Amino acid sequence: MFRNIGRKIKTLALVLFWITLVSGVIASMILGIMLCIRGARYYSMYFLAGFGVIIFGSAISFLVSWIGSFFMYGFGQLIDDTEINRQTNQQILRKLESGSAPTAPNPEPYRSTTNPEGFRPAYRPAAPVPPTAPVRPAAPSGGWYCKKCGMKNESVAKFCLRCGTPNNNA
């Protein structure tokens, strides 16, 4: 009963679209014909209003039924797409658990431990590489090297242009 519910909701949206469209067109035609008949007896403006109700009533009926079916059809499509995503995620999970996932050049980041929920292998990044101290050659005349980042600055600069460290020599 509840299998393929997304497809059933989309089918229901199409059925309701056609039902509201046909009933709206029939209702506007009946009202328009009644106005035309009444206009032929009494007043000619009723006759023109009858044709207007037939034409514009049918158009408005189409728009209301068409726009009204957007939301129901879209909801059914959303359910279908969610089901496809769930199936795809289960396939990926089975591949990861069976070990058929492609291996990285460095197997250290991927370990066989699992996260607390036990759903998938946990990713553990490699240890960070400590930064190396920049090489600070002797400053030429007219310039200075920043103690923090090692950038060469002009002698008139009071702060490092890269990191903003003040020049203690000035």
Model confidence over 43-62: pLDDT tens digits? Answer: 777 777 888 889 999 999 99
Q: In this predicted structure, what is the pLDDT of residue 97?
A: 84
Sign of CA dihedral 32, 37, 41, 47: positive
pLDDT average, residue stretch 62-87: 92
Measure CA 154 to chain center.
Answer: 50
Give the pTM: 0.49
Q: In this predicted structure, what is the pLDDT of residue 166?
A: 86
* 70: Cβ contacts below 8 Å, ≥ 6 apart: none
pLDDT average, residue stretch 112-128: 54
Q: In this predicted structure, what is the pLDDT of residue 100?
A: 63
User: Which of 17-21, 92-96, 107-111 is predicted most confidently?
Assistant: 17-21
Three-state DSSP at 121 gives: strand
Proportion of the chain above pLDDT 90, given as a percent? 32
**Residue 160 · residue 153 · CB < 8 Å:** yes
Reported as a pLDDT band with limits 50, 70 and 90, residue 29 is very high
What are the boundaries of each domain within the chain?
5-98, 140-170
Q: In this predicted structure, what is the pLDDT of residue 70?
A: 92
